[in-house]
Amino acid sequence: MTQVTPPGWYPDPGQTQDGPPTERWWDGSAWTDRVRPAGQAGAWAPPTPAPGPGPTGGPFAG
């Protein structure tokens, strides 16, 4: 039986001693390009997507 590591933030396996500690997002099968400073709150939260373009067209509520 194989043990599966759940998705989450883990110490960056590629971290060097040249900078502050970082964590890297593990998606459940591979490391992603998402990194953050180590020790941030919300340890399990998935990475936030990059902001997209704002709303276009359409009436404004108000």
Q: Is residue 62 part of a domain?
A: no
pLDDT tens-digit series, residues 24-45: 999 999 999 999 999 876 556 6
pLDDT tens-digit series, residues 6-23: 999 999 998 888 889 999
Q: Is residue 59 part of a domain?
A: no
Q: Is residue 56 pLDDT above 70, yes or no?
A: no
Q: Is residue 43 part of a domain?
A: no
Q: Which residue has the tokens 């110490």?
A: 11
pLDDT at 4: 87
pLDDT at 42: 59
Q: How many domains does the chain have?
A: 1
Calpha distance 34→39 (Å, rounded): 15
Q: Is residue 12 part of a domain?
A: yes
Q: Is residue 58 part of a domain?
A: no
Which residue would you say has higher pLDDT here, 7 or 4? 7
Q: Tell me the CB-side half-sphere exposure of residue 7, using CA atoms within 13 A.
A: 8
Q: Is residue 27 part of a domain?
A: yes
Task: Give residue 22's domain range.
Answer: 8-36
Q: Is residue 24 part of a domain?
A: yes
